[in-house]
Amino acid sequence: MKINKPLNIAAGILINDENQVLICQRKEDTSHPLKWEFPGGKIEEGETPREALRRELVEELAVDIQIDDELVEYDYTYPNGRTVNLTFYTITDYLPEPMNLTFADIQWIDIADLDEYDFLDGDQSVINLLQFTYTD
């Protein structure tokens, strides 16, 4: 049995002044088509998670960010056996307003409404944490 090395991912939880989070919908021609996710991506060889997140958000949203604290880090194994190591960071300081460069759609939504969107399975734990932390 072949054991795959986990895919290391850094993702950002961008929070605006109205306490909404930015969510991004994957394009139809990608893996997990039309699923929603938080912006970010693969950590390349030699990059720290923060460096990868900064690079990915420039590529995906044309924003320069100041990364706040690490929110949570965990592993998730998909049914196909692929394990991802996910590290999420909160981001409240970014310029300019995010522009959609690579997604089918991006939206600012209330944290309480995250359950209404079809997210990647691996993001469910961070969604639960956000809803527990930021909603009444």
Report yes or no: 42 and 119 within 8 Å, Cβ to Cβ. no
Structure confidence at residue 72 (pLDDT): 96
Query: Is 106 within the bounds of a domain?
Result: yes
Q: Kindly provide the residue ranges of all beta strands, DSSP E only, lying in the chain, ordered along the sequence.
A: 7-14, 20-25, 36-37, 40-42, 64-66, 70-77, 83-91, 93-95, 105-110
Peptide bond before residue 33 is cis, with ω within 30 degrees of 0: no
Residue 126 lies in a domain: yes
Total number of domains in the chain: 1
Residue 18 lies in a domain: yes
- Answer yes or no: is 1 within a domain: no
Residue 130 lies in a domain: yes
pLDDT in tens, 28-57: 998 899 999 999 999 999 999 999 999 999
- State which residues form the domain around 22: 7-134
Tell whether 2 is covered by a domain: no
CB 22 within 8 A of CB 100: no
Q: Which two tokens stand for residue 22?
A: 């930015």
pTM: 0.93
In a domain, 75, yes or no: yes
Whether residue 15 is contained in a domain is answered as yes
Question: Which pLDDT score, from 0 to 100, does residue 131 have?
Answer: 92
Q: What is the CATH number of the domain that holds 80?
A: 3.90.79.10
Q: For the chain, give the number of residues.
A: 136
Task: Give every residue of the chain whose pLDDT is below 70, as ranges.
Answer: 1-4, 135-136
The pLDDT score that the predictor gives to residue 1 is 47
Output the average pLDDT for the chain: 94
